[in-house]
Chain A
């Protein structure tokens, strides 16, 4: 059987998810050996971009170039996966979506001129059909490996869709939200991180983005009850998943 042709791409983002691929030290040779990696500009020059069985795309769609690029990748790929919270939720490039691009241009470049045909940061699914998603800022190594192995096996990647809280309970962490009144988005955030931040007494900031169905209203009400201002809550929610924020909290 021919090795699956794979391309790994980045749109507007920090390239952190692509870096996770490169950092798969123990697994990288096995995985790269099992696939035909045709385009991965972070690791290899001379990309070949005709057809892909699987495209992994990180980053959000911000510029006109991003939009063209992801549409082109889509057209060439049988399966397209969004990797990282930028690709799945808009991520950090969307944190200031509500401010408006003109204002941001003015603040950063001193002009309101549309330099990059930039729009509000959008997740891939707003622009193209996405076949599977793997959130995380960056994606979790262990989930990325399982996702790639699933694809090699012929399955779409799938993970238990549970909140961060579940791993906190498994680790018998003291609940930062309940016990310490800290701003923790664990209950509304997709798990997979093994409760990394709460395990170090840092409230979850929602870097994996929200679960499909979350009770933002109750979470926000609880945090307000604990004395946290609504604007601060909204800001933290916006950091990684502006879309969720708009739809569900503001």
Chain B
């Protein structure tokens, strides 16, 4: 074994013409889900039926892989007079998520922290442990500001990471599962040559230069506090439709609502957890009819404060990963980039 092979032991090259074989080989590690292009042009994570449907260079999927770990609606537990409270089955079938961008991998790492911080959420981690994550590089568009949120790169949270270097993918192995995938498919990978390393560096440099959108993170929590009463919130509240779209498409929003669904015997049923949004009026409605955040402006403010202030003091980073989904999806065209820019302007007195 040469020195280079030893030094670069955890990287390989996957020529693009062998990509279909690579995807086929993944079946050994679980059912493969990847970003596919639907006939209506939308990119969604879906089971892969044809390799040709996969679009690794998608700008962003409609929903993030959050939907596999923390589905929009799940049963927390079931209950019946005979059995008391009991766990519904959790789908832990082996799953390979292929084509996850760094922002979304960072999103999953944030959810990991949230779901084990005080209480371990067993259903989440049962799903998490059944996932193999194969990351992929991306081309930032005008809504990507992951770099501002320090989420543009990953050095954990993936089993393999594929970076596009032209006619091949530069493959980083992140875990022993990644190593197993490579070992199980020796024919599709080749060792890294000097030229590949140069191409990888070049690709990374080009990507770093490609960012158009930016959010300045420095002292942002303090600025938000200083601008607590700013007109910016009021104006955004007037535009906001309270549709909750930003929360649904966000890879790190994790608020949920709980309600019971009864069976026909009116004695058994399930407690259901459903994604909620702090933009919904009832999110902060409590007994007696009091609402802590009755105005849309205060709900909007709450979302920003949670992600950019509260989360920073508790977890040491914002819970925003800069994926740009909320900007792309907001029907009222509210943009976090513009919001933060406006708030920063307010402190310039």
Residues on A facing B (Cβ under 8 Å): 27, 30-31, 34, 145-146, 149-150, 152-153, 158-163, 165-166, 169-170, 172, 174-175, 177-178, 186-188, 211-215, 217-219, 222
Contacts and interface: CB of A to CB of B under 8 A. Distances in A.
Given A160-B274, A163-B243, A222-B331, A172 B62 contact: yes
Contact of A172 (B42, B240, B242, B262): B42
A215 B240 CA distance: 7
B245 A213 contact: no
* Chain A interface main SS type: helix
B167 to A, nearest CB: 32
* Chain B interface main SS type: loop
Pairs of residues from A and B, 9 with the lowest C-beta to C-beta distance, nearest first: A169-B248, A187-B241, A165-B243, A187-B243, A172-B62, A149-B262, A170-B72, A30-B264, A178-B331
B280 interface: yes
A153 B262 contact: yes
Contacts, number: 100
A218 B277 contact: no
Given A34-B266, A153-B262, A178-B329, A165 B239 contact: no
Contacts of B40: 174
Contacts of B265: 30
Nearest to B259: A160
A101 B73 CA distance: 46
Interface residues of B, number: 39
Given A153-B262, A162-B244, A169-B72, 20 more contacts: A27-B264, A149-B262, A150-B262, A153-B266, A160-B282, A165-B241, A165-B245, A165-B331, A166-B244, A169-B63, A169-B245, A169-B249, A175-B329, A178-B329, A213-B281, A214-B241, A214-B242, A215-B241, A217-B238, A218-B239
Nearest to B261: A146
Given A166-B248, A170-B248, A212-B281, A218 B264 contact: no
Contacts of B224: none
B331 A172 contact: no
A215 B274 contact: no
Interface string B240-264: 1111110011000000010101111
A146 B259 CA distance: 11
Interface of B: 40-42, 44, 62-63, 72-73, 238-245, 248-249, 257, 259, 261-266, 274-277, 280-282, 296, 329-333
Contacts of A174: 40-42, 62
Contact of A215 (B44, B249, B259, B296): B296
Given A174-B42, A212-B281, A187 B331 contact: yes
Contact of A219 (B41, B72, B241): B241
A222 B244 CA distance: 17
Contacts of A159: 259
Given A166-B277, A188-B241, A218-B241, A149 B331 contact: no
A178 B73 contact: no
B249 to A, nearest CB: 6
A160 to B, nearest CB: 5
Contacts of A149: 262-264, 266
Contact of B242 (A31, A146, A215): A215
Nearest to B263: A149
B240 A218 contact: yes
A178 B261 CA distance: 33
A186 B244 CA distance: 11
B186 to A, nearest CB: 37
13 contacts: A159-B259, A165-B243, A165-B244, A172-B42, A174-B41, A178-B329, A178-B333, A187-B242, A187-B331, A213-B242, A218-B240, A218-B241, A222-B241
